[in-house]
């Protein structure tokens, strides 16, 4: 009897919200990079919240699926898990790498080559990082990085999480909750140290400098968010009464219950990976097109208009990507369920 597919519709809606937060934080600076000032640039914290939500959702869903597989079959088929992740992540990732790292710099596609000029001297190093699925290394250590691909650092973090997580779940057994709590605690400590401690102590000697680098790696891995999502998944599978005994406040629960199942949010969440992959390029193209119209810049009304157009182009890119690229690989992915 074939296994029933696990699907949480609310997760799609939450992905849509996370994507919107990331888009709002990136749109202003990206448009300014393309030469268009929309006057809306101070939304960086929204992007951090959106990415944190993405990481928590990934931690929840991946942990839930793997724990359920281990519970049903007494083991985890790690090879099949890797194939599912490869078919879901790699096609669009390498497509945007091909466009942003090779096609635009070499052809100056649609006049976009000028945006890449400042990063041209780092071409070889960034190309190696992107091709080896280490975009987070390029983002952190190669300055200036490719402006079309900076956002892919989070894809690298997710892929590295997928690489190790099935082994963690396979080996931890009944100690998994303790491991998850430990990772969450380490991340909290790392976040505090990264912000307040090591900027001061990094210059106090080689030992402190090395600890600072280790701490930075832990901080940028965002493992605590994945672990938090994993803990929620463990609660749902192993302690369902505990999961349902923690209701949300009514003032938050009612709007969520009304809006999260909305078909538009669900659809945007379904295409959110393509939207995320292409949103920087879509925003740059939008800015270039708006510049050609000669419309006056800087007013809040123009800024709102530019944001709406860029989000529409991003949504279109995500929809086309899902229809013509992702769907094909998702069908292949079913072979490894």
Q: Residue ranges of the domains in the chain?
A: 9-332
Q: No. of H helices and E strands in the chain?
A: 18, 0
For the chain, the distance separating the N- and C-terminal CA atoms, rounded to the nearest angstrom, is: 13
Within a 10 A sphere around the Cβ of 112, how many other Cβ atoms? Answer: 21
d(CA 80, CA 337): 7
The two three-digit tokens of residue 296, written as one number:
């006056």
Gyration radius (Cα) of the chain, Å:
21
Backbone angles phi, psi at 322, to 5 degrees: -65, -40
Which residues, at least 6 apart from 177, have a Cβ–Cβ distance to it below 8 Å?
231, 234
Tell me how far the alpha carbon of residue 198 is from its chain's centroid: 26
What does the pLDDT read at residue 14?
Answer: 93
Which pLDDT value is given to residue 108? 79
**Closest alpha carbon to 176 in 81, 72, 70:** 70
SS3 222: coil
Predicted local confidence at residue 92, as pLDDT = 97
Which pLDDT value is given to residue 2? 47
Contacts of 117 (CB under 8 A, 6+ apart): none
| 198 close to 166: Cβ distance less than 8 angstroms | no
Tell me how many degrees the CA angle 299-288-273 measures, rounded to the nearest 5.
Answer: 95
* Residue position matching structure tokens 């909750």: 177
Please check whether residue 275 is in contact with residue 317, taking contact to mean a CB–CB distance below 8 angstroms.
yes
What is d(CA 319, CA 267) in angstroms, rounded to the nearest whole number? 9
pLDDT value for 241:
65
Chunked in runs of 10, what are the mean pLDDT values of the chain (337 residues)?
64 94 93 85 82 96 94 91 96 97 85 80 92 93 90 96 95 92 91 68 58 74 94 86 58 67 91 97 94 80 91 98 96 87
Residue 160 token pair = 């590295």
pLDDT at 243 (0 to 100): 57
């Amino acid at each position: 009897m074939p296994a029933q597919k696990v699907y949480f519709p609310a997760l799609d809606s939450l992905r849509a919200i996370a994507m919107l937060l990331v888009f709002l934080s990136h749109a202003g600076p990206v448009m300014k990079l393309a030469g268009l000032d929309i006057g809306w640039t101070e939304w960086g914290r929204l992007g951090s919240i959106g990415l944190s939500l993405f990481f928590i959702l990934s931690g929840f869903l991946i942990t839930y699926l793997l724990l359920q597989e281990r519970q049903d079959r007494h083991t985890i088929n790690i090879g099949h898990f890797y194939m599912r992740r490869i078919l879901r992540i790699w096609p669009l990732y390498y497509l945007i790498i091909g466009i942003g790292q090779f096609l635009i710099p070499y052809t100056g596609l649609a006049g976009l080559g000028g945006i890449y000029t400042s990063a041209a001297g780092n071409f070889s190093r960034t190309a190696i990082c992107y091709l080896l699925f280490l975009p987070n290394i390029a983002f952190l250590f190669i300055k200036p990085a490719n402006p079309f691909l900076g956002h892919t650092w989070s894809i690298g973090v997710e892929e590295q999480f997928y690489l190790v997580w099935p082994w963690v779940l396979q080996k931890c057994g009944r100690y998994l909750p303790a491991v998850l709590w430990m990772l969450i605690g380490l991340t909290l400590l790392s976040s505090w140290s990264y912000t307040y401690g090591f900027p001061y102590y990094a210059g106090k000697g080689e030992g402190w400098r090395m600890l600072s680098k280790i701490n930075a790696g832990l901080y940028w891995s965002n493992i605590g968010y994945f672990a938090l999502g994993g803990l929620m998944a463990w609660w749902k599978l192993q302690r369902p009464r505990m999961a349902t005994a923690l209701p949300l406040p009514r003032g938050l629960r009612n709007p969520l219950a009304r809006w999260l199942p909305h078909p538009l949010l669900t659809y945007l969440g379904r295409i959110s990976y393509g939207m995320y992959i292409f949103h920087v390029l879509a925003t740059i193209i939008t800015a270039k097109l708006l510049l050609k119209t000669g419309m006056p810049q800087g007013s809040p009304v123009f800024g709102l208009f530019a944001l709406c157009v860029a989000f529409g182009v991003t949504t279109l890119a995500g929809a086309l990507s899902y229809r013509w690229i992702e769907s094909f690989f998702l069908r292949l992915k079913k072979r490894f369920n």
